[in-house]
């Protein structure tokens, strides 16, 4: 059971890559399978660089139910914005009285600029 789910979180499962005209492998996310969960999302870190262009990198912590299926190759949509999964999702499994706190933790990343 997830404490206080605040968002509808949609996992976009990475489709198989195909070849473009130049024979490069590309992933077309428009056909990705979509699975929605009730979860909790909160801000983690945001950084800005101004070397050659203004770039902002934002990280969010996303907590999903233990039944959620998400991998490091997937993307996640929250409030209409699409984020990359950063790293390997972590499954927390408690036992005894803490078993009700089971969840999957996913770090989300968005780069703009």
Assign residue 26 the CATH number of its domain.
2.40.10
* Mean pLDDT in residue range 90-100: 79
Mean pLDDT of the chain: 88
- CA distance linking residue 46 with residue 83, whole number of Å: 13
Q: What is the pLDDT of residue 1?
A: 45
Query: Which residues, 6+ apart, have CB-to-CB distance to 31 below 8 Å?
Result: 15
Asked if residue 2 is part of any domain, the answer here is no
Specify the number of domains making up the chain. Answer: 1
**Could you read off the pLDDT of 37-75 as tens digits, one per residue?**
999 999 888 888 777 678 889 999 999 999 999 999 999
Asked if residue 108 is part of any domain, the answer here is yes
Q: What is the share, in percent, of the chain residues with pLDDT greater than 90? A: 62
pTM (two decimals): 0.83
- CA distance linking residue 12 with residue 8, whole number of Å: 13
Report yes or no: 9 and 77 within 8 Å, Cβ to Cβ: yes
Q: What is the pLDDT of residue 110?
A: 92
């Amino acid at each position: 059971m997830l404490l206080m789910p605040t968002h509808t979180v949609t996992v976009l499962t990475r489709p198989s890559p195909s070849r473009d005209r130049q024979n490069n492998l590309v992933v077309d996310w428009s056909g990705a399978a979509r699975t929605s969960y009730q979860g909790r999302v909160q801000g983690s870190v945001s950084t800005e660089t101004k070397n050659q262009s203004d770039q902002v990198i934002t990280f969010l912590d996303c907590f999903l139910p233990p039944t959620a299926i998400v991998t490091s190759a997937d993307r996640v949509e929250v409030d209409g914005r699409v984020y990359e999964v950063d790293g390997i999702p972590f499954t927390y499994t408690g036992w005894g009285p803490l078993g009700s706190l089971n969840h999957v933790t996913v770090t989300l990343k968005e780069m703009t600029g």
